[in-house]
Structure 1
Amino acid sequence: MTPEDRETQPLLGPPGGSTPRSRRVFLAAFAAALGPLSFGFALGYSSPAIPSLRRAAPPAPRLDDNEASWFGAIVTLGAAAGGVLGGGLVDRAGRKLSLLLSAVPFVVGFAVITAARDVWVLLGGRLLTGLACGVASLVAPVYISEVAYPAVRGLLGSCVQLMVVTGILLAYLAGWVLEWRWLAVLGCMPPTLMLLLMSCVPETPRFLLAQHRRQEAMAALRFLWGSEQGWEEPPIAAERQGFQLAMLRRPGIYKPFVIGVSLMAFQQLSGVNAVMFYAETIFEEAKFKDSSLASVVVGLIQVLFTALAALIMDRAGRRLLLTLSGVIMVFSTSAFGAYFKLAQGGPGNSSHVDLLAPVSTEPIDPSVGLAWLAVGSMCLFIAGFAVGWGPIPWLLMSEIFPLHVKGVATGVCVLTNWLMAFLVTKEFSSVMEALQPYGAFWLASAFCIFGVLFTLFCVPETKGKTLEQITAHFEGR
């Protein structure tokens, strides 16, 4: 055995095995996942920043109700544009360079917010961070899926959503002690760290092969995996064609397109972005005494259950977790709607007020006793979302598309996700007014039911398969 063999032997599986064991793939995945951490922080930023901006004194900008609504929602419009931009970048500039470029609007956007003296500058900064969110939310899952070997692709792919919810939680926690300007300064740090770490890891081997840079691809593979064992080289001929509309007639293209777009739409129609953007408002409606604390509790639950999903993803499989997640969300949104229906009905509807209401000398609202139903339902929803419908649509998006259409296809999926996020976030309060709060949550429950049915009948299992085997499945090979 040569010294080189001895050096790489600990990184490999047993003799004759096909599973790599290099730990450098985890470094590359972490560097890429700092992009999702940054866009999670950008998403969560609005929740603590809006109350701070409502009470800001001149010369700082001050938000009214309509401006606060736009401040929360405009990031999703920027992200939709970023999804389109990222779809072009990821195939032309590559996965690594696209992630590096996404750090720039993150830093510039938060810097603009920090320096803002009027509302329009604030919104401009939010739009820039949204643009970065769109690029990072598209490119990071693609980069991670292409550098990971099959045995850990579910784990590493789920870390995208784990970093998103960690970023949201970080914004909530920091919002307790920092006002909006210093919170924006903190938002510059994760993308700066991503810029440094991504400079130390290679481009994905699949992209390098598509560019006919085979020697660089093998060097990147050895850096990431420790060897070439377990690597299934994709065919290169088709990868230079690019996307054409005529391709949508092929089952290998239109089937993953339908699945990817539908999963993104159902994810947002569950109402999760409205919950996260307006977490404090929803808990205030539920008569929860400390709505800021409630938001942090929601963030903690999301982080814990997303981490759990990441750990079991490669054992339980995608379909099982999506189905389980959807069923939990159906019950929790139904229960939350029931809370609002009962609270609206008047004093006679709660028989547990005396047991659950806090001791107070002030008159007690009869619906306070039902607040625990609302809190429990919300926590159950967040836990259910985190184990399936949070991470898995992003993971599947990065797995199911052939290499030669991946940029355009993932761009369409991300555009769908962020446009739906904008509509749900911006119009959530209008829906609550039109249908009453209970009707809005029961509508979300109906969409969750459709999501479960779609999973059972249309979504294939990708656990343990190489990206080439997944493509072959859709093509009927």
Structure 2
Amino acid sequence: MDIQDEYRSLLEQENRELPESQDTYFSKVKNSKLYLATFVSVLGPLSFGFVLGYSSPAIPDLTTIDDPHLRLNDDQASWFGSIVTLGAMVGGLLAGWMVERIGRKLSLMFSSLPFVFGFTIIIAARSVWMLYLGRALTGFASGIASLVVPLYISEMAHERVRGTLGSCVQLMVVLGIMGVYLAGLFLDWRWLAICSSIPPTLLLVCMCFMPETPRFLLSRGKQREAEEVLRYLRGPDAPVEYECDRIKEAFDEECSSFQMSDLKEAHVYKPLAIGILLMIFQQMSGINTIMFYAENIFEQAHFKESDLASLIVGVIQVVFTAVAALIMDKAGRKILLIISGVAMAISTTAMGVYFYLVSTPEGGVHTDMSWLALASVAVFIAGFALGWGPVPWLIMSEIFPVKVRGVGSSLCVLTNWSLAFIVTKTFQDMMKSLTRAGTFWLFACMCILNVIFTMVFVPETKGKTLEQIEQTFRESSDQ
């Protein structure tokens, strides 16, 4: 075809797309099948959200249940909630190996099995250890899904919708959390586990009909299959040979597999450092502790129904994560991180002020200042959902070179889940040693560092192909 020859000629002459060729190409692209594949894949994060939210409505049931073999004390309830993060660490490590060996599609299908098995063990539990095992398995599956799904979407999507589709990962997580909170108003812990097993079951069935990513197929030398997948994802009229050649050229430049010696190369260690630090800053912003303390704050502000408090938190998360998804490819990743970090710094500072005033001996401050606590929680959750919730996962899936994509993503997921466990487990100790006000002021300092780090080190990836992002790091390394 003439238009394909034109594109190939442009590619050979410029080694990158000209704006005119991009507009011509995308005018022929149809995204319906891409949206379908994305929708199926984000059943993984939806399952992940159900796992994260399950402990909140289930623990009150399990701490008051008549069966002494299943009744949880305070320490057991704490482990029931947090053992998920330990399972996710192992899952994240394994997922980095899996995506390179068996591919993105099969890895995602595999993740659905421990989801289903874990909830099945919880449903059939006859002892506390069965509850622990079920939670650990669902955490293991969550660790795999949290790595594979962003990678799967980023390698399928083109640069004009990659931000929006990548943000759907976090959107489905918070939808899952809100969904399990809502279901928990009507269902006991066993029926809630049955309900939570539905999304991963659908994931396993539906992924059978979805394609492998074209980039993984090209990395295995399967160009014909990659072109067929691109034609499925971009529509029958799109000249996909143009995009396939562009991706293949990047693989030809970097055909070797990852070696430890590659960490000496700046275009490898720079994105790896950025990805890991993004995950550290995300967890050190205090999101898990804010979520942990939110119900207490709502109760202190005369919201006696803790279920209602959880639902309000869930709604705020969903709304602002959806806003982030809608504007991600227009506003850009970097500006959303900055706005998000500023909002979180202000809200955690205000939270510290609230706790400082509450701790003073003067009477009446607790009631008078309850509005400050409520506003701070709302602003923090909205700010996190707008940027630091979805963007680190999106950038993680975009910035790594081909040969370190699995290893780099695995290290990022391991870092995220490790910090989540550490911060959650040490939160009460921090509150005692630093006081409640000091703890939230520490989080405010971390949020300020988030903003500085973003402004100085985080690259803008909006509107760039994965190959262009990789080339940007190579060029900066050569300077």
TM-score, structure 2 as length reference: 0.91
Q: Distance in 2 between the 1:199 and 1:457 partners?
A: 43
Equivalent residue number for residue 62 of structure 1:
71
Q: Shift of residue 284 of structure 1?
A: 3.6
Gap change, CA 1:407 and 1:214, over 3 Å in 2: same
Q: Shift of residue 446 of structure 1?
A: 0.9
Q: Distance in 1 between the 2:68 and 2:414 partners?
A: 36
Gap change, CA 1:15 and 1:243, over 3 Å in 2: closer
Q: Distance in 2 between the 1:176 and 1:100 partners?
A: 31
Q: Shift of residue 432 of structure 1?
A: 1.4
Secondary structure of the corresponding residue to residue 161 of structure 2 = helix
Q: Shift of residue 129 of structure 1?
A: 0.3
Q: Distance in 1 between the 2:22 and 2:85 partners?
A: 47
Matches within 5 A, 1:95-106: 95-106=104-115
Matches within 5 A, 1:196-345: 196-226=205-235, 227-229=238-240, 231=243, 232-234=246-248, 235-237=250-252, 240-277=255-292, 279-284=294-299, 288-345=303-360
Equivalent residue number for residue 424 of structure 2:
425
Contact preservation (8 Å) 1:32, 1:194: yes
Equivalent residue number for residue 86 of structure 1:
95
Matches within 5 A, 1:148-227: 148-226=157-235, 227=238
Q: Distance in 2 between the 1:50 and 1:140 partners?
A: 29
Equivalent residue number for residue 374 of structure 1:
373
Gap change, CA 1:239 and 1:107, over 3 Å in 2: farther
TM-score, structure 1 as length reference: 0.91
Secondary structure of the corresponding residue to residue 49 of structure 2 = helix
Equivalent residue number for residue 7 of structure 2:
none
Contact preservation (8 Å) 1:168, 1:299: yes
Equivalent residue number for residue 17 of structure 2:
none
In the TM superposition, what whole-angstrom CA distance separates every residue of 1:330-372 from its partner, at most 9, and x where no partner exists? 001111111111111134463xxxxxxxxxxxxxxxx133222
Contact preservation (8 Å) 1:100, 1:194: yes
In the TM superposition, what whole-angstrom CA distance separates every residue of 1:354-405 from its partner, at most 9, and x where no partner exists? xxxxxxxxxxxxx133222111110110000000000000000000001111
Secondary structure of the corresponding residue to residue 150 of structure 1 = coil
Q: Which moved more, 1:223-232 or 1:64-73?
A: 223-232
Residue type of the alignment partner of 1:241: S
Q: Distance in 2 between the 1:282 and 1:397 partners?
A: 33
Gaps of 5+ in 2: 2-20
Gap change, CA 1:208 and 1:265, over 3 Å in 2: same
Gap change, CA 1:337 and 1:221, over 3 Å in 2: same
Secondary structure of the corresponding residue to residue 77 of structure 2 = helix
Contact preservation (8 Å) 1:47, 1:278: no
In the TM superposition, what whole-angstrom CA distance separates every residue of 1:400-447 from its partner, at most 9, and x where no partner exists? 001111000000000000000111111212211222221111111111
**Within the alignment, does 1:26 sit opposite 2:35 as a pair?**
yes
Gap change, CA 1:233 and 1:406, over 3 Å in 2: same
Q: Shift of residue 22 of structure 1?
A: 2.6
For the aligned residue pairs, the C-alpha RMSD in angstroms reads: 1.8
**Within the alignment, does 1:467 sit opposite 2:472 as a pair?**
no
Q: Distance in 2 between the 1:411 and 1:112 partners?
A: 27
Residue type of the alignment partner of 2:440: F
Gaps of 5+ in 1: 2-12, 351-366
Contact preservation (8 Å) 2:97, 2:406: yes
In the TM superposition, what whole-angstrom CA distance separates every residue of 1:245-281 from its partner, at most 9, and x where no partner exists? 1111112111100100000010011111233355434
Q: Distance in 1 between the 2:437 and 2:292 partners?
A: 19
Contact preservation (8 Å) 1:152, 1:314: yes
